[in-house]
Chain A
Amino acid sequence: DTEVTQTPKHLVMGMTNKKSLKCEQHMGHRAMYWYKQKAKKPPELMFVYSYEKLSINESVPSRFSPECPNSSLLNLHLHALQPEDSALYLCASSQVEGARWNEQFFGPGTRLTVL
Chain B
Amino acid sequence: AQSVTQLDSHVSVSEGTPVLLRCNYSSSYSPSLFWYVQHPNKGLQLLLKYTSAATLVKGINGFEAEFKKSETSFHLTKPSAHMSDAAEYFCVVSVENTGGFKTIFGAGTRLFVKA
Contact = CB atoms under 8 A, between A and B. Distances in A.
B43 A90 contact: yes
A88 to B, nearest CB: 7
Contacts of B102: 98
A42 B103 contact: no
A109 B34 CA distance: 20
A99 B100 contact: yes
A49 B65 CA distance: 31
Contacts of A6: 43
A45 B105 CA distance: 10
A104 B103 CA distance: 10
Contact of A102 (B103, B107, B110): B103
A14 interface: no
A4 interface: yes
Interface residues of A, number: 24
Contact of B101 (A45, A100, A107): A100
Contacts of A108: 42-43
Contact of B106 (A42, A88, A102, A103): A42
A101 B45 CA distance: 16
B3 interface: no
Contact of A97 (B51, B100, B107): B100
Given A41-B108, A43-B105, A101 B44 contact: no
Contacts of A111: 41
Contact of A4 (B41, B43, B96, B100): B43
B17 to A, nearest CB: 24
Given A40-B108, A42-B90, A42-B106, A102 B41 contact: no
Interface of A: 4, 6, 40-43, 45, 88, 90, 92, 97-109, 111
Interface of B: 32, 34, 36, 41-46, 49, 51, 90, 94, 96-97, 99-103, 105-108, 110
